[in-house]
């Protein structure tokens, strides 16, 4: 694992884009720091009557382009630096997808699987109460992330509305349909990645051929990718989660693997494949590697062992800067997270618009709008990549930072 913490990764990625931007250093300096970070302490009453003190954060990185937007994750390893980095990546991601947002992110340091449903509800309401003064439809709009889901968003929304005393369905996204959620939100991250991957495969001459894929991280994004990506010719031959991986060179059956995961809680001992470690899964020869879990899984220690032609980053920050350079040297195309996984926040934006107007769209409309937006973003970034002769991540940062800094320049630096 890389020793570089997530925020240091973000700073290095910014520095790698700066030479290809004609901007004043003062704007780079501002962009390198979050505008504000709220740290909260949540006293959680457990079922046995004791109280567990839980730490949480909400980071506001930059709002030059609009209100802050970003998910909330529950994970035992969440840290302030991680939440800050994720909020900064959200600023870049929203600008990449041409959304009217800046970047925000939240996190709670907890192992949610160890909690009962009642404890999880109390924790969620405690966090929502703690950040209620820090967010709202035109301020900061949280959404689901790692180990949070529409049910958690429902508790967040209900708590916020009770505190404020009015209905405000667009203050959270990723909600159930019954509470103003959007059709097409559940698989939006994976679906957006599919549209981006389709265009990338066209550019490198692989589209239309039978291709193999590995999914590292079989959560929401990873499992949805398995179900969807056969539409563009991918056969998933390996998949992994926190407990290990499974491999079948002939392909893993999606329905059977999902059923097994739901029953056993892991893909590792799937009877339709050979059990492998997480490290071994990353090293399998395949056309496409899809990291869909946490940060830093492809790093300086293992990047040279990656045997994929394309890496599609459905996770946030899965490839360290050192690994980026190694993969580039090996001829592997890395489709960066700020583009590849922007489908989730894009459909969250659609949900926000629908909630504000009360005009709800069909799933077909959502898919068409998502495809159009991300296809356009891909080709804008690809054009910069080719013109400047730089990596795709650098090109995405050049485009996104250019948009953010243009807005900052018009606004001026004040106060």
The model's pLDDT over 37-95, given as tens digits with 9 standing for 90+, comes to 999 999 999 999 999 999 999 999 999 999 999 999 999 999 999 999 999 999 999 99
List, for residues 139-172, the tens digit of each pLDDT value: 999 999 989 999 999 999 999 999 999 999 999 9
**DSSP-derived secondary structure for 175-205:** --GGGT--TT-TTHHHHHHHHHHHHHHHHTT
Mean pLDDT of 2-18: 87
Q: Evaluate whether 366 touches 350 at the Cβ level (below 8 Å).
A: yes
Rounded to 5 degrees, what are φ and ψ at 298?
-105, 110
pLDDT for the residue 1:
42
Q: Are 73 and 52 in contact (CB under 8 A)?
A: no
Q: Is 1 helix (H, G, I), strand (E, B) or coil?
A: coil
264 falls in which pLDDT band (50, 70, 90)? very high
Cα torsion for 81, 66, 137, 375, to the nearest 10°?
Answer: -90
Radius of gyration of the chain (CA): 20
Average pLDDT on 20-41 reads 97
User: Which residue out of 105, 175, 261, 309 is catalytically annotated?
Assistant: 105
pLDDT at residue 212 is higher than 80: yes
pLDDT at 415 over 80: no
Instruction: Judge whether 12 and 2 are in contact, CB under 8 Å.
Output: no
DSSP 125-176: HHHHHHHGGG-BTTTEEEEE-TT--HHHHHHHHHHHHHHHTS--GGGS-S--
pLDDT range class, residue 4, cuts 50, 70, 90: low
Quick one: pLDDT at residue 3? 58
Mean pLDDT of 205-222: 95
List Cα–Cα distances, 58 to 146, 154, 205, 258, in angstroms. 15, 18, 42, 33
Mean pLDDT throughout 277-303?
A: 93
Confidence of residue 352 (pLDDT cuts 50, 70, 90): very high
pLDDT tens track for 381-394: 999 999 999 999 99
How would you classify the pairing of strands 140-144 and 234-241? unpaired
Confidence of residue 109 (pLDDT cuts 50, 70, 90): very high
Tell which residue, 209, 249, 254, 251, has the closest CA to residue 228: 254
Q: Quote the pLDDT of residue 307.
A: 94
> Can you tell me the distance from the alpha carbon of 200 to that of 190, in angstroms, rounded to the nearest whole number?
15
Which stretches of 242-362 are DSSP H helices? 254-264, 278-282, 321-329, 337-340, 343-357
Report all structural domains of the chain as residue ranges with CATH numbers, in order of start: 34-170 (3.40.50.10860), 188-340 (3.40.50.720)
Average pLDDT rounded to a whole number, residues 315-332: 94
What local confidence, expressed as pLDDT, does residue 329 receive?
94
105 is catalytic: yes
Reply yes or no on whether the pLDDT at 294 is more than 90: no
Q: What is the pTM of this model?
A: 0.94
Q: What is the mean pLDDT of residues 291-309?
A: 93
Q: Report the SS3 class of residue 393.
A: helix
Q: What band does 356 get if pLDDT is binned at 50, 70 and 90?
A: very high
Does the structure show a pLDDT above 90 at 2?
Answer: no
Q: Tokens 């920050």 identify what position?
A: 317
Q: What percent of the chain has pLDDT over 70?
A: 99
């Amino acid at each position: 694992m890389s020793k570089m913490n997530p925020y240091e990764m973000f700073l290095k990625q910014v520095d790698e884009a700066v030479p290809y931007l004609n901007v004043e250093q003062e704007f780079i300096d501002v962009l390198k720091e979050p505008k504000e970070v709220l740290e909260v302490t949540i006293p959680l009453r457990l079922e046995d009557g004791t109280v567990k003190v839980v730490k949480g954060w909400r980071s506001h990185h930059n709002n030059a382009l609009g209100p802050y937007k970003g998910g909330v994750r529950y994970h035992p390893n969440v840290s302030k630096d991680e939440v800050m980095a994720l909020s900064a990546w959200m600023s870049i991601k929203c600008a990449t997808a041409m959304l009217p947002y800046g970047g925000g992110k939240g996190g709670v340091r907890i192992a949610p699987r160890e909690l009962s449903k009642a404890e999880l509800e109390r924790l969620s309401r405690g966090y929502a109460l703690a950040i209620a003064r820090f967010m709202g439809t035109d301020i900061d709009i949280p959404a689901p992330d790692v180990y949070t889901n529409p049910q958690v968003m429902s508790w967040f929304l209900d708590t916020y509305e009770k505190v404020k005393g009015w209905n405000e369905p667009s203050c959270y996204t990723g909600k159930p349909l019954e509470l103003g959620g959007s059709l097409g939100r559940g698989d939006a991250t994976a679906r957006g990645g599919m549209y981006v991957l389709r265009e990338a495969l066209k550019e490198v001459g692989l589209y239309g051929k039978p291709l193999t894929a590995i999914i590292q991280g079989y959560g929401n994004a990873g499992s949805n990718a398995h179900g969807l990506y056969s539409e563009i010719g991918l056969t998933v031959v390996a998949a992994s989660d926190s407990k290990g991986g499974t491999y079948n060179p002939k392909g893993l059956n999606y329905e059977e693997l999902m059923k097994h995961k739901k029953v056993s809680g892991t893909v590792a001992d799937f009877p339709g494949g050979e059990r492998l470690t997480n490290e071994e899964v990353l090293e399998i020869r395949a056309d496409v590697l899809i990291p869909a879990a946490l940060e830093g899984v492809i790093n300086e220690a293992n990047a040279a062992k990656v045997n994929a032609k394309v890496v599609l980053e459905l996770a946030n920050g899965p490839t360290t800067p050192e690994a980026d350079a190694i993969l580039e040297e090996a001829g592997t195309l890395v489709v960066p997270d700020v583009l590849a996984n922007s489908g989730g926040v894009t459909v969250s934006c659609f949900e926000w618009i629908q909630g504000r107007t009360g005009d709800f769209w069909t799933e077909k409309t959502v898919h068409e709008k998502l495809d159009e937006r991300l296809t356009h973003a891909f080709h804008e970034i690809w054009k910069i990549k080719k013109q400047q002769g730089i990596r795709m991540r650098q090109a995405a940062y050049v485009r996104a930072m250019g948009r953010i800094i243009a807005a900052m320049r018009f606004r001026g630096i004040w106060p």
